[in-house]
Amino acid sequence: MSAAPPAASPAGSTTRSAPPSPARSRGRWLFAGAVLLLAVVSLPVLLNGAPHLDDFARCLVPAEEGWSTYLDMGVDPSGIVRPAKFLEVGLLSALCQRVPFGLLVAVPLALTILVGAALIGLLEDLGVAAPWPQLAGVAWLLYPLGAESAWWPSALHIPLGLGLALLALRAVRRRRWAATTLLTLGAFLSLEQALFALPLAAAMVADADVRRRAAGLVGVLAVALIVAYGVAPGEESLAVVPLPERVASLFADPAWLLRFPAKTSGPAAVALVAWWWLPVTGVVVAVAALAGTRIGPWLLPPTAPRHGSAQRGLRVAMPLLALLAVVALLHLPMQSTVPRVESPRAFAPSWLAVAAVGGWLGSALPWRRRRLLGAVGVVAAALSLQTLAFQGLTRVTTANLEAQAALAIADRTADGQAVALCDVPVTLVHPALRWTPYAQHAYAAEHATRHAIRFYSQRRLDAVAVAARGDGCPERRTEADVRVPFAALMADEGRP
């Protein structure tokens, strides 16, 4: 699986050989339409954006108390691991109280769109026939749980790292080694999941005569960063794990290998949102299916089998094996941590790999039932957009309720007091996709609670203790000046 699927560019080629074709032009229109739909779904968050969890401390502390105070607080205790986090902190601390927060949300959203464009460029460099590179870009944009990395400034490193990784692979393909070095370092410094997978990906996209050089260059950079991260991992629990425990963790809880993608890839969320939004879902599916029967024949040129069944089976098996290898390496950093991360943003690199290999594989197969393929694809896209829209409404509603609670707490307290919040629910919105980040709220996470109150109400509390619903009031911090049942905050009237 070195150069390309059906129509590979000549060995050593560094430019796109195919002139614009009708299929490519239609694919571009489809990608532009997906960008527009994603922007429309993002509008509630862009227009009513507010900080979320880690954003609060990153917004307030460096700007008001200085970077040294922020670092001393241990909010980002990860040493030199992923230094791109300082870009996130710098962006938030410099702008979050000076511009509408929606503009900060637009930064990771724009990077997400650029990742899709970079993916299209890479597949075109590899000779993948149109419109499959554009379809891969659309699949990336419509990751059902991609809202976490696309709308969260504190997760900006995800699309940034993925974009730099794709550009590094394009540089490998074009034999631009200086650019490869710089872009690879940028990807590694933004996204530690790339450390293991990118050397293999570089070997896959490089021409045969430079494959060892490409894999060696990227591999050496990866080893250097892994050693540096091991020397200065900081104090974060996920980073400070002894090597024997990391090795043991690789073989512990093998069910995680199935549970993690099942939980974060999106089908479960799509099904739940589709059920909750009945009968709207029925209308969405019907309209999408009808549109798909027209889009399929318009977008996909008629194809016929070009190879025998044995050859075709090999052309299918190779990309699938490559996908499994890349995904396994992407999951390796998470599999070796204790406890393991199960966030959708951690699956985003794997979703990108699935989209890329899906585009590669789609161009290698004959598609006779284009109407059926179009109907299935457009229905899947529509349900993904519906799921993204649900998460956007969840985030906006949660932010409004967080602001209401902050103002209610400010009415009951004075600066410098300590507060205990009693019976705090897991989510403020029902129903909610509880395993997704936007279902979580600042008052369920003590590290964000005090800063959220300060952001919305300007109340500077000395300390805040939180007890989950069913646990009554916090037993510790018995010196709390004020104890507030959380339900009373939600019952206050006259708040936004």
SS3 for 404-472, per residue? Answer: HHHHHHHHHCCCCCEEEEEEECCCCCCCCCCCCHHHCCHHHCHHHHHHHHHHHHCCCCCEEEEEECCCC
Residue 10 scores a pLDDT above 60: no
pLDDT at res. 128 = 92
For every residue of 57-125, DSSP letters joined together read HHHHHHHHH-HHHHHHTTSS--TTS-TTHHHHHHHHHHHTTTS-HHHHHHHHHHHHHHHHHHHHHHHHH
Supply the DSSP symbol for 367. -
Residue 493 scores a pLDDT above 60: no
Of the pLDDT bands very low, low, confident and very high (cuts 50, 70, 90), residue 338 is: low
CA distances from 298 to 22, 95, 150, 372 (A): 10, 45, 30, 13
For every residue of 153-176, DSSP letters joined together read GGGTHHHHHHHHHHHHHHHHHTT-
Q: How far apart are CA 440 and CA 394, in angstroms?
A: 10
Q: Which of 57-61, 341-345, 353-357, 413-417 has the highest mean pLDDT?
A: 353-357
Residue 33 scores a pLDDT above 60: yes
Asked if 16 contacts 125 with a C-beta cutoff of 8 angstroms, the reply is yes
Asked if 451 contacts 56 with a C-beta cutoff of 8 angstroms, the reply is yes
Asked if 401 contacts 447 with a C-beta cutoff of 8 angstroms, the reply is no
Q: Among 208, 93, 112, which residue's Cα sits nearest to residue 155?
A: 112
Q: What percent of the chain has pLDDT over 90?
A: 52
Q: Which residue has the tokens 């009951």?
A: 412
Residue 30 scores a pLDDT above 90: yes
Sign of the CA dihedral with 62 first, then 64, 68, and 70 last = negative
Give the range among 220-234, 307-321, 412-426 with minimum mean pLDDT.
Answer: 307-321
Q: pTM for the whole thing?
A: 0.88
Residue 348 scores a pLDDT above 50: yes
Residue 5 scores a pLDDT above 60: no
Residue 448 scores a pLDDT above 70: yes
pLDDT digits (tens, 9 = 90+) for 143-175: 999 999 999 999 999 999 999 999 999 999 999
pLDDT digits (tens, 9 = 90+) for 34-67: 999 999 999 999 999 899 998 998 898 887 776 6
Residues 6+ apart with CB under 8 A from 53: 154, 437, 440, 442, 445, 448
pLDDT at res. 345 = 87
Asked if 81 contacts 227 with a C-beta cutoff of 8 angstroms, the reply is no
pLDDT at res. 200 = 94
| Mean pLDDT of the 300-322 span | 68
Q: How far apart are CA 18 and CA 1, in angstroms?
A: 21
φ and ψ of 423, to 5 deg: 55, 55
